[in-house]
Amino acid sequence: QVQLVESGGGLVQAGGSLRLSCAASGRTFSFGDMGWFRQAPGKEREFVAAIGWGAGSTDYANAVKGRFTISKDNAKNTMFLQMNSLKPEDTAVYYCAFKPLGGPKYTDWGRGTQVTVSS
């Protein structure tokens, strides 16, 4: 099992930037995919970005492509989400998650960090 703790959320004006971090402990997260998800009030949780194990191939939701960048530091067991050009519609609780290598779904989740973008 992997324990995940998000940090870096906060209140920012539209057009601003935030950098989220996800610290992992337990089983090393280099042997699996990592992802960011978000959930806005009254909406379902949605995929934001993912980074693969090893060399770290990346994938992004269309809504954040070109504005957000996912990265990780395997040596520090930490994943990041750099969020630029933030919009009010990016307001949500952001969660990081771990998917074991070869597994079909994300099995471990953090408790989330709130991101609020004011217009």
pLDDT tens column, 43-95: 999 999 999 977 779 999 999 999 999 999 888 889 999 999 999 999 999 99
Dist. CA 68–CA 85, nearest whole Å: 8
Question: Residue 27's pLDDT is what?
Answer: 67
Question: How many C-beta atoms lie closer than 10 Å to residue 88's C-beta?
Answer: 11
The contacts of residue 41 (CB under 8 Å, 6+ apart) are none
Paired sense of beta strands 10-13 and 113-118, if any? parallel
